[in-house]
Chain A
Amino acid sequence: MNARLQAAPDQVETRNTTCYMCACRCGIRVHLKKGEVRYIEGNPEHPLNQGVICAKGASGIMKQYSPARLTQPLRRKAGAERGAGEFEPISWDEAFGLMEERLRKIRATDPKKFALFTGRDQMQALTGLFARQFGTPNYAAHGGFCSVNMAAGMIYTIGGSFWEFGGPDLDRAKLFVMIGTAEDHHSNPLKIAISKFKRRGGRFISINPVRTGYSAIADEWIPIRPGTDGALLLALTHEIINTGLYDRGFLARYSDSGHLINQDPASAQYGMPVRAGVPPKGDNPDHHHDQLWWDRHSGRAVPNHAPDADPALFGDYRLDDGTPVKPVFQLLMERVGEYTPEWAEAITGIPARRIRGLAHEMGITARDQKIELPIAWTDSWGKEHNTVTGNPVAFHAMRGLAAHSNGFHTIRTLAILMSLLGTIDRPGGFRHKAPFPRAIPPVAKPPKGPEAVQPDTPLASLALGWPAGPDDLSVDAEGGPVRIDKAFSWEYPLAVHGMMHNVITNAWRGDPYRIDTLLIFMANMAWNSTMNTVEVRKMLNDRDEQGEYKIPFLIVCDAFQSEMTAFADLVLPDTTYLERHDVMSMLDRPISEFDGPVDSVRIPVVPPKGECKPFQEVLIELASRLKFPAFVTADGARKFRDYPDFIVNYQTEPGSGIGFLAGWRGRGGEKAMVGEPNPRQWEMYEKNNCVFHHVLPRSYQYMRNWNQGYHEWAQRTRVRRYTDPIVIQIYSEVLQKFRMAAQGRGESPRRPPAHLRERIATYCDPLPFYYAPLEVQATDTVRYPLAAVTQRPMAMYHSWDSQNAWLRQIHAHNYLFINVKTASALGVADDDWVWVESPHGRVRCMCRSSEAVEPGTVWTWNAIGKAQGAWHLSPDANESQRGFLLNHMISEELQTAGGARFSNSDPVTGQAGWYDVRVRVSKAGADEPAETSPQFAPVPAAPGTSKVRKLWQAFVAGKGDYK
């Protein structure tokens, strides 16, 4: 610092775009000095992050200029083994030629032999369209191994979920309960909200095996054993029902609590809601709303929401025809009867007294601190309300609940508990974000059978969807799976985000079939994104008797040299987020706020490095070359010049007016949500902070499951097709249909194969129940007593940043955290090398004792450990020598006693059970090397990555060293 201090900094150019170092997608301002990135700051005018930025976002410079950047298309050298990382550069022409030829052949013969799986689930509008147009069902993003239980469990119950779909309204909440949320979930918006909430004096309770990150600033930390959240939530439900702390008025009107369920075991409709048989006016043909209530006043069954009727929530009734029926709420009460706090204490480790107290806190806050907003609105049954009521208890939950094989039912319980408290889309509770809420289940359905896959023909539907019953499964006549990952099969009927974690194993084994080409975008399936890493790496490199690779052709698109790129036959160098156009589309998972839809764009602020090409451009180019119908004109000519052109001009149907972007539609940009393509749409976004925020009228901002005004708006703007109410499903009719199929009844002719009947009947329970995670059930927990879980640290949140010179100083390697008393009982001390062993594998690492972890749990930061040579790190870098993954100990499959193999996943949704593994810990021998195990042969730097190995660096923008 010197006298020049207060001189103005040199003139810099500033451009707005959208961050993509994680899935939050904050608005950023990028300052450029002589073409080099000088500074990346949060855009204060952006609704999502309001000017703040996280550690990763602020380190974007080091990502942009990382020496691990891939800069040219690479082909595996002839004769080189996969995984050895030996490549030769080729031109894009060659690369496209290769892909075009191969994909054209597959498409013309058997399109399902092409599989596209992406690590990014917020680009699905385009990647999903590509797969659909290709005609392959084998497509998904990473949701299956991330948090599909969270999406499915809540959407199948309340029509919305957390994160991009909805969230806690901390502006008005008084009590906030966060459960199973690592510090890497919904980063900046949640941080902003929690901070404001705490400053306003809100009470924040965190339920988590580990106290870090957000939990650190909770007013109270309730440690819980991993995988037992369902037991806690069921006990809370039990207590809330038994003390009458539920919001009866809300449940009666807005949920299925009063719906009568057929209780006649002899009836074909046993377990199904009884219906009037006369659909109400304006009904949704897919969702009939003619269930019956038992009217308390008249003492007889009436159509739901009959004028002046009030449903009985408890009781045991008989219809006029003698059919015994019970209201859903009665069934729920019966279900949770055995789930007492004392019962839960033994499972969760939380004292029963505390569970009761927690239930009382929730219930009393919801009941006694009501918010009344003077907002008039009309509900779906025509009743006019003068106010919107809020019960200010908010929740947030994420992968800690989801990544267990009992997660679906756990999360259903959470959604039910939130409903019991009357907090759905109400002030201070849970609030939806457009385009949510969706119908339960949403309308999109996966292909129904093998006949849906035809040569040279797009799929009639999207590859992913939301089954409403056995008819919607993707199964063949024998009940076998259609998809390579077996999603939507009887094994995992509601695998709505696919099951990326089983693709490689299944394709390698040829079960259900072999594929030809696997295209992986931005997913590290040879490392931290896969279970059973050691074996999966072998599978990727395994050959059949003819000497051909079991997965014949592997294309990987990534911006960096990762562990995965080493296994590719063809590597496509992606751009960074600063070098590309992108959309956060309403057709996808936009960045909407509670008050209305928000979508946004990314615009390139620096030119692509080397020959990097955005993956979107690759897809558009391939789609055009392969002449996908949506990408060519009737005479076969290319329709879209490039991705920006595609975004502006693509419409879901000719003339639909629905495109990827909702803002500035219409010829002159005068329309919102729906309208003709606007040739200047990108410009208008750019001028407006790259974001379009449509604030709904206040009367459409709440109660959107049942808000007539909102539904009409949503229909007008094509957000929804129908205007029917989205009634909370405490009792899941969808699950009951699957159960009935397993019991050999029900309307669907489809029946699960014999060996899956019991599984379906057990897990497709229409009411939530608790079971220990499947892996825990199958493990000798005396031998393997400790639960092992991971989370991402905030500074390395939601992606892999060991190539980032600043961030890797914060997390260069990782330790296994063990409760102080547990460590002392095991005789291990800080910095000791220990073996962590599960029934599936073992890892050597260093340990660190901690008072902030539940005694039965060990944990570590995920994805800090790296393979030698990957990410352009030296072979002796901390990441590979002292860093480690738990993945080596987690199997992607579980074997039943009968020898049947299943994915190590939730039996309903196929959600990967990352956090179910049980381990034991022992001190490593004194003679063992001081490095983590397993180790892998180092991979050489790929051609096109930096050749210079800097002993030190000092980044100064504008000097031209980094351009």
Chain B
Amino acid sequence: MNPAFSVIFLTTLLGAGQGLFLALFVIEVRVATGLLPAPSTGFYPLGSAIAVVLLATGLLASFFHLGHPERAWRSAAMWRTSWLSREVIVLPAFMAAVAAYGWAHWQGWPGTLLIGVIGAAVCLLLFLCTAMIYACIKFLQEWATPLTLINFVLLGCASGVMLAAALAALRGEPNAFVVGLWAVLLTVAGMVSRIASLWRNARLKPRSNLQTAIGIKHPRIVQKAQGFMGGSFNTREFFHGRTPGTLRAVKWLFIAGAFVIPAALASAGLQAGAPALLVAACAVQFCGLVAERWFFFAQANHPQNLYYQAVS
């Protein structure tokens, strides 16, 4: 696939926003159960606000993906069958929940935990919707795996929790260390699951090949002409046009940028008590995840590409 930055930013920003919210909610639960000290009063509202901004920015980015953004409202219609439609419903619901959660904290209303429970449920639903948009396309074999969902959850949480940790550290919150620890653990878990998916995808045997694509059983089939020479939607949308070398480079870049470096920076930051390192970890990780998401799309080899191999 040819990675579209609108979708890359949509999914990464959404993930970070979701992770951040989940971090806030879990902190609150832990605080309520006495396992953690309470953070300062502004922490939840600020965190929620940042989460809403991330979600809104992600949503905004998604509009750039549409040919007719003015008709975006229509996309809620097919929730019975379409994960995309479901996402379109769940995302505003989640944004509302996060906003309500932050607002309730800001206003000091009771019942924040209840809102949080609802928010967390919607958040998980959103993870499910977002991931299933990709995982449900069975012939995109790189995506059609539970690992897609696990990765979306873990990478979203890692980046969101990292953000929470950085925020906590910057504000000198008492929980900064614990949250930072969570972030490092999630980052490591994300790395494990993402590497697992890389490992899996490297061993995929494409179920479609030229033989099934044109229905001729012969070991040697070569396309000579795809039927047009100046490109088409099919060549622009489904081919990233980069070399395998670039792809490999991006892979190592995101393994380093999304996992290794932020984990190291965060660990160092926690040990040294240096919030700046956590902020840096956060920034590096987000960039790393953008690269990861680019790779996620680029690596997906669409079977339609079998039909678009050569001009002459």
Q: Are A812 and B230 in contact (CB under 8 A)?
A: yes
Q: Could you tell me if B312 and A809 are in contact, using CB atoms closer than 8 angstroms?
A: no
Q: Which residues on A sit within 8 Å (CB–CB) of B222?
A: 851
Pair A812/B312 contact, Cβ less than 8 Å: no
B2 to chain A, nearest CB (A): 20
Using Cβ atoms and an 8 Å threshold, which residues of chain A touch B310?
A: 830, 848
* A813→B224 contact, CB < 8 A: no
* A15 in the interface (beta carbon within 8 A): no
Please measure, in the bound complex, the distance between the C-alpha atom of A814 and the C-alpha atom of B312, giving whole angstroms.
Answer: 6
Distance (whole angstroms) from the CB of B169 to the closest CB of chain A: 52
Q: Inside 8 A of A852's CB, which chain B residues have their CB?
A: 224
The range of chain A's interface size is 10 to 19
Q: Is there an interface contact between B312 and A810, defined as CB atoms closer than 8 Å?
A: no
Check if A878 is an interface residue, CB within 8 A of chain B.
yes
What is the count of residue pairs linking A and B with beta-carbon distances less than 8 angstroms?
Answer: 22
Contact call A809/B224, Cβ cutoff below 8 A: no
Q: A815-B312, A848-B312 given as contacts; is B224 within 8 A of A810 (CB)?
A: no
- Among B263-312, those with CB < 8 Å from A are 310, 312
Interface residues of B in 189-246 (CB under 8 A from A): 222, 224, 227-230
Q: Which residues between 842 and 901 of chain A lie within 8 Å of chain B, taking CB atoms? A: 848, 850-852, 878
CB distance from A311 to the nearest CB of B (A): 53
Most chain A C-beta atoms within 10 Å of own C-beta, residue among B222, B227, B312: B312
Chain B residues within 8 Å of chain A by Cβ, number: 8
On chain A, the residues within 8 Å of B312 by CB distance are 814-815, 817, 848
Is there contact, CB below 8 Å, between B229 and A878? yes
Name B's interface SS: loop
Cα A851 to Cα B220 with chains together (Å): 11
Q: Is A203 an interface residue (CB 8 A)?
A: no
- B310 CB → nearest A CB, Å: 8
Q: A120 within 8 Å of B by Cβ?
A: no
Check: A198 CB closer than 8 A to any chain B CB: no
Is B224 within 8 A of A812, CB to CB?
Answer: no
Q: Please report the C-alpha to C-alpha distance between residue A878 and residue B227 in the assembled complex, in whole angstroms.
A: 16
Decide if B224 touches A850 in the complex (CB within 8 Å). yes
Residues of B within 8 A of A817 (CB): 312
Residues of B within 8 A of A851 (CB): 222
- Mark B245-265 against chain A: 1 for CB-CB distance below 8 A, else 0: 000000000000000000000
A815–B229 Cα distance when bound, in Å, is 12
**Complex partner residue of B224 from A811, A814, A848, A878, CB under 8 angstroms:** A848
Task: Quote the shortest CB–CB distance from B135 to chain A (angstroms).
Answer: 30
A615 and B274 alpha carbons, distance in the complex (Å): 87
Which interface residue of B222, B224, B227, B228 has the most chain A CB atoms within 10 A? B224
* Chain A residues with CB below 8 A from B224, complex form: 848, 850, 852
Min CB–CB distance B236 → chain A (angstroms): 14
Q: Hey, what's the 0/1 contact readout for A799-836 against B, CB within 8 Å counting as 1?
A: 00000000001111111010000000000001000000
Docked pose: A370 CA to B228 CA in angstroms: 46
Question: Which residues from chain B contact A812 at a C-beta distance below 8 Å?
Answer: 229-230
Docked pose: A852 CA to B220 CA in angstroms: 13
Give the nearest-CB partner of A815 in chain B.
Answer: B312
B227 — which chain A residues lie within 8 A by C-beta? 810
Chain B's nearest CB lies how many Å from the CB of A810? 6
Among B222, B228, B229: residue with most chain A CB under 10 A: B229
CA separation between A850 and B310, bound complex, in Å? 12
- Please indicate the chain A residues that have their CB under 8 angstroms from the CB of B229 in the complex: 809-813, 878
The 7 A-B residue pairs whose C-beta atoms are closest, nearest first, are A812-B229, A848-B312, A809-B228, A815-B312, A812-B230, A809-B230, A810-B228
* Selected A-B contacts with CB under 8 Å, 9 pairs: A809-B229, A810-B229, A812-B229, A812-B230, A813-B229, A815-B312, A848-B312, A850-B224, A852-B224
19 further contact pairs, Cβ within 8 A, besides A811-B229, A815-B312, A848-B224 = A809-B228, A809-B229, A809-B230, A810-B227, A810-B228, A810-B229, A812-B229, A812-B230, A813-B229, A814-B312, A817-B312, A830-B310, A848-B310, A848-B312, A850-B224, A851-B222, A852-B224, A878-B229, A878-B230
Chain A residues within 8 Å of B, Cβ to Cβ: 809-815, 817, 830, 848, 850-852, 878
